[in-house]
């Protein structure tokens, strides 16, 4: 049932992966670990479909939801490195319309750190608007912020991607997913897409949604705008959703490809022997943004960087300077510059944990036990 590769000394990771199937009702999953770009673990097992007729294979693509956000910020980092964007500059220097209602002075980095005050739409929109790139950008730019920009962070589950995509297109002329595909994934043989063509859909895992809803204790209006309203997100899982580009939440990849992309955060901009961005850009992308502390949307104390989270809650291992991101239902990507390691866990049976899924914590604990 479990297949793949384990380097000598990393056998406890395979044991933890197998234990998830035995103890946690895992349906299908993959896990990968790289150290300094060298593959140490690549495991897969279970089934890619609900009816258990299609085995999960090395090539199965899983939607990684918000694990996509740091990969989107990787593209922004590439554009910063070329001088096409400046993470420290006001967002309105690139996207003038975003300045409405006093939002224009917030820096690009802080906007990617969930501080813009626009976690979603409190009043109803047509959900189809999410598929109209110019329309959704215009609607978001026109919003009045729900708190003074730059004074606090409140998780932007989908509007993060609208911001990142708008910045990439204005700076480069291409969509964020196109830049990722043309400049990183295709030349380097990385099986990851933001905007997954129909030809790849037969490789995609079917998602089993959690039986219980996550628990939110934060401001009702903010949670409604971000998550709770019927219009808060486009319908997920359809062919149309897979093919569209939502840089916040619909990347599709294997565990290995996701770990490969997170390597850029673990190795100061290096990925598979190639420099994606400079060490200086890596420092700018991964610098903690003030203020940290309680999130206004998620029920956690968090420290955001420009698209990736610092390891405030030890969700990504014992090193407080590690970083990562969790995705809907339990998937994760993580990076630890101290050990130059990156990893990813992808699944199709989702849990109700917003962060800190026990299956992921078990795997990460096993990794660090081997170091």
**Rounded average pLDDT over 40-64:** 98
DSSP state of 192: E
- Average confidence score pLDDT of the chain: 96
* Nearest-angstrom CA–CA distance, 33 and 132: 37
Separation between Cα atoms, residue 21 and residue 313, nearest integer Å: 25
**Over 90: is that where the pLDDT of 238 sits?**
no
| Residue 212 in this model has a pLDDT that exceeds 90 | no
Distance CA 217, CA 299 (A): 6
Polymer length of the chain: 371
Per-residue pLDDT, 216: 85
* The pLDDT value given to residue 168: 98
Q: State residue 218's pLDDT score.
A: 83
CA angle 83-138-174, nearest 5°? 40
Q: Report yes or no: 68 and 242 within 8 Å, Cβ to Cβ.
A: no
pLDDT of residue 221: 94
DSSP for 179-198 reads HHIIIIIHHHT--EEES--G
DSSP string, 148-182: -TTS-----TTHHHHHHHHHHHHHHSS-HHHHHII
pLDDT digit string (tens) for 239-263?
A: 999 999 999 999 999 999 999 999 9
| Residue 131 token pair | 């598929």
- Both tokens of 4, joined, read 């793949």
The Cα angle at residue 43 between residues 39 and 45, in degrees rounded to 5: 165
Q: Which are the contacts of 59, defined by CB distance < 8 A and separation ≥ 6?
A: 191, 203, 254
Nearest to 325 by CA among 264, 270, 266, 262: 262
Q: Do the Cβ atoms of 298 and 153 come closer than 8 Å?
A: no
Pairing, β 274-275 against β 293-294: unpaired
Got the DSSP string for 12-66? Answer: HHHHHHHHHHHHS---EEEEEEEETTEEEEEEEEEBSSTTS-SB--TT-BEE-GG
DSSP state of 304: B
Q: Supply the pLDDT for residue 110.
A: 98
Measured between alpha carbons, how far is 362 from 13 in angstroms, rounded to an integer?
A: 9
Q: Residue 288: pLDDT band by 50, 70, 90 thresholds?
A: very high
- Residue 140, phi-psi category: left (phi > 0), alpha (psi -120 to 50), beta (remainder): alpha
**pLDDT tens, residue by residue, 311-350:** 999 999 999 999 999 999 999 999 999 999 999 999 999 9
Cα–chain center distance at 198: 22
First CA to last CA distance, the chain: 26
The pLDDT value given to residue 31: 98
Residues 363 and 283: their CA atoms lie apart, in Å, by: 27
Burial pattern 280-312, b for ≥16 Cβ within 10 A else e, equals: ebbebbbeebeebeebbbbebebbbbbbbbbbb
Query: Which CATH number does 2-369 carry?
Result: 3.40.710.10
Residue 211 confidence (pLDDT) above 90: no
Determine if the peptide bond prior to 291 is cis (ω within 30°): yes
Nearest to 165 by CA among 252, 101, 95, 97: 95
pLDDT above 90 for 178: yes
Structure tokens at 118: 């626009």
- Compute the average pLDDT of residues 272-295: 97
């Amino acid at each position: 049932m479990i297949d793949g590769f384990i380097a000598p000394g990393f056998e406890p990771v395979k044991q933890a992966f197998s234990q998830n199937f035995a103890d946690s009702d895992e349906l299908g999953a993959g896990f990968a670990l790289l150290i300094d770009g060298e593959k140490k673990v690549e495991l897969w097992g279970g089934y890619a479909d609900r009816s258990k007729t299609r085995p999960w294979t090395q090539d199965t693509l899983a939607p990684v939801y918000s694990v996509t956000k740091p990969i989107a910020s990787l593209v922004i980092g590439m554009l910063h490195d070329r001088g096409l964007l400046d993470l420290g500059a006001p967002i309105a220097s690139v996207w003038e319309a975003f300045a409405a209602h006093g939002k224009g002075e917030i820096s690009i980095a802080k906007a990617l750190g969930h501080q813009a005050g626009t976690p979603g739409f409190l009043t109803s929109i047509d959900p189809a608007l999410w598929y109209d790139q110019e329309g959704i950008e215009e609607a978001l730019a026109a919003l009045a912020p729900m708190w003074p920009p730059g004074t606090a962070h409140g998780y932007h589950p989908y509007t993060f991607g609208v911001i990142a995509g708008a910045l990439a297109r204005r700076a480069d002329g291409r969509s964020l997913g196109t830049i990722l595909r043309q400049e990183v994934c295709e030349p380097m043989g990385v099986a990851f897409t933001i905007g997954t063509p129909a030809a790849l859909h037969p490789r995609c895992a079917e998602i089993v949604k959690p039986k219980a809803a996550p628990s939110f204790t934060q401001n009702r209006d903010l949670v409604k705008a971000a998550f709770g309203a019927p219009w808060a997100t486009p319908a997920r899982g359809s062919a149309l959703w897979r093919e569209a580009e939502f840089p916040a939440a619909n990347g599709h990849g294997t565990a290995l490809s996701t770990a490969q992309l997170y390597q850029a955060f673990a190795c100061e901009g290096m990925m598979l022997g190639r420099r994606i961005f400079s060490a200086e850009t890596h420092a700018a992308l991964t610098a903690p943004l003030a203020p940290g502390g309680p999130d206004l949307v998620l029920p956690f104390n968090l420290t955001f960087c420009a698209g990736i989270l610092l390891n405030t809650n030890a969700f990504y291992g014992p090193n407080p300077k590690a970083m990562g991101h969790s995705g809907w239902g339990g998937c994760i990507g993580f990076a630890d510059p101290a050990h130059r390691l990156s990893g990813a866990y992808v699944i199709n049976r989702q849990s109700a944990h917003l962060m800190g899924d026990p299956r992921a914590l078990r795997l990460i604990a096993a990794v660090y036990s081997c170091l």
